[in-house]
């Protein structure tokens, strides 16, 4: 065997699973982690398993690639259905589970990271976890800073048998945040053996893309602008509508607005908002830009719903922000926004249903005078990438320790 083949086989590999039933949050977080890892280790390869239908719209660094499993979407009644294929959901889930397992079997990672859902969508990652654990591959669960309020999360985790998986399957739990800001495990009774596995990394800092694409749509805006973002946009109608009402009623605002509607916003609503924005002199609306970091960096401030990635970008680019959080189906954004306001990192503006343009107009006029996040001193706030790299080094240095079966002894 040639030296080249031996070296290729020895290069470390990380596999990341992201279920991605809807939206951009999981995909963008996993992509940020993958990029941080390959930037740190020049021989590392990272493969992302994702169900996102627009994963191909994003650029990936060298040595980062993805495999897209068939997409699914969650219905209003809580059930799932295939996103594009006209086949039974059970068949779709079986295909996804098979692709995940066979990818892991062949890619043979040195570390497996599962994003948010410990056993995957409807348990689709469970077989893969067992396979890799028998091979001695370290298994990590990655959690964002907020999951949901404990009263809703506890019964969900009981139904999904999450705690036994945390206790017996996973080797470590990485929380991409700090407990002094938000703690996703607060209010949840967990064994001490599980809590010993938890490491808080700090938030994942975002940087400008190395290659910035042109933004001809900014030419309409005559000067400074506020960026209004909905993330994926599937439930961002209210934020866009509320902001448009301000500019339709008051042409004297000192800055324009760039609205990023989101690729998953309902098509009819996209068309309505694009039409309304076209009639306004200092407002521009676009559906999607995969390099939203450059838009945030240029903005005087941000109006958003307060998802994890938007919050990381607000912190990273040190922008004053107005967060209009959703409260259904999860309280995640509200919890994060309320805590951010309490700490002075951002302002929360809950939607009361009326969307009075005067309320939003006042908040927008005050936005440039808001304190910037950097004025609040929180040690380690944006150290996520450095700590993820440190944890990666630790696991790769340990090497594999084959185990014949998953432990069944109940730890205390």
Domain ranges of the chain: 3-204+382-398, 216-375
The architecture that CATH gives domain 216-375 is: 3-Layer(aba) Sandwich (3.40)
- For residue 232, which phi and psi values (nearest 5 degrees)? -70, -25
Are the CB atoms for 72 and 58 separated by under 8 Å? no
Same fold, 3-204+382-398 and 216-375: yes
What's the predicted TM-score (pTM) here?
0.92
- For residue 230, which phi and psi values (nearest 5 degrees)? -115, 10
164 to 76, 119, 168, 198: CA distances (angstroms):
29, 11, 6, 15
Q: At what angle do helices 89-107 and 126-134 cross, to 10 degrees?
A: 20
Give, in words, the CATH class of 3-204+382-398.
alpha beta
* pLDDT in 10s for each residue of the chain, 412 residues: 444 444 445 799 999 999 876 678 899 999 999 999 999 999 999 999 999 988 999 999 999 999 999 988 776 666 778 888 888 889 999 999 999 999 999 999 999 999 999 999 999 999 999 999 999 999 999 999 999 999 999 999 999 999 999 999 999 999 999 999 999 999 999 999 999 999 999 999 999 987 777 677 788 888 999 999 998 888 899 999 999 999 999 989 999 999 999 999 999 999 999 999 999 999 999 999 999 999 999 999 999 999 999 999 999 999 999 999 998 888 999 999 999 999 999 999 998 888 999 999 999 999 999 999 999 999 999 999 999 999 999 999 998 776 544 444 444 4
């Amino acid at each position: 065997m040639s030296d080249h083949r031996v070296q290729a086989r020895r290069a470390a590999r990380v596999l990341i699973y992201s279920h991605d039933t809807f939206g951009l949050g999981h995909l963008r977080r996993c992509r940020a982690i993958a990029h941080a890892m390959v930037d740190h280790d020049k021989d590392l390869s990272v493969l992302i398993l994702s169900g996102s239908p627009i994963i191909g719209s994003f650029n990936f660094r060298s040595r980062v690639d993805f495999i897209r499993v068939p997409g699914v979407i969650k219905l209003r009644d809580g059930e799932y259905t295939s996103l594009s294929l006209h086949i039974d959901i059970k068949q779709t889930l079986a295909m996804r589970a098979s692709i995940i397992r066979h990818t892991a079997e062949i890619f043979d990672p040195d570390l497996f990271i599962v994003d948010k859902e410990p056993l995957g969508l409807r348990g689709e990652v469970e077989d893969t976890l067992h396979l890799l654990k028998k091979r001695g591959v370290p298994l990590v669960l990655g959690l964002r800073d907020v999951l949901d309020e404990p009263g809703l999360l506890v019964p969900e985790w009981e139904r999904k048998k999450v705690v036994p998986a945390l206790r017996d399957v996973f080797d470590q739990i990485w929380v991409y945040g700090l407990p002094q800001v938000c703690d996703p495990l607060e209010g949840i009774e967990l064994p001490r053996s599980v809590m010993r596995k938890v490491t808080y990394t700090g938030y994942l800092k975002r940087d400008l893309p190395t290659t910035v694409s042109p933004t001809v749509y900014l030419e309409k805006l005559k000067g400074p602008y506020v960026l209004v973002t909905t993330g994926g946009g599937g439930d961002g109608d209210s934020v866009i509508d509320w902001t448009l009402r301000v500019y339709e009623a008051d042409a004297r605002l000192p800055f324009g607005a760039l609205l990023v509607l989101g690729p998953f916003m309902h098509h009819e609503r996209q068309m309505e908002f694009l039409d309304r924005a076209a009639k306004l002199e200092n407002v521009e609306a676009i559906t999607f830009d995969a390099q939203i970091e450059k838009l945030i960096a240029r903005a005087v401030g941000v109006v958003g719903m307060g998802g994890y990635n938007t919050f990381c970008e607000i912190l990273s680019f040190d922008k004053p922000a107005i967060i209009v959080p959703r409260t259904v189906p999860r309280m995640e954004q509200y919890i994060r926004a309320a805590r951010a306001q309490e700490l002075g990192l951002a302002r929360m503006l809950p939607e009361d249903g009326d969307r009075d343009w005067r309320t939003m107009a006042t908040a927008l006029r005050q936005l440039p005078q808001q304190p910037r996040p950097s004025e609040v001193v929180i040690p380690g706030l944006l150290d996520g990438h450095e700590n993820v790299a440190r944890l990666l080094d630790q696991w790769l240095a340990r090497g594999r320790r084959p185990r014949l079966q998953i432990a069944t002894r109940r730890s205390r």
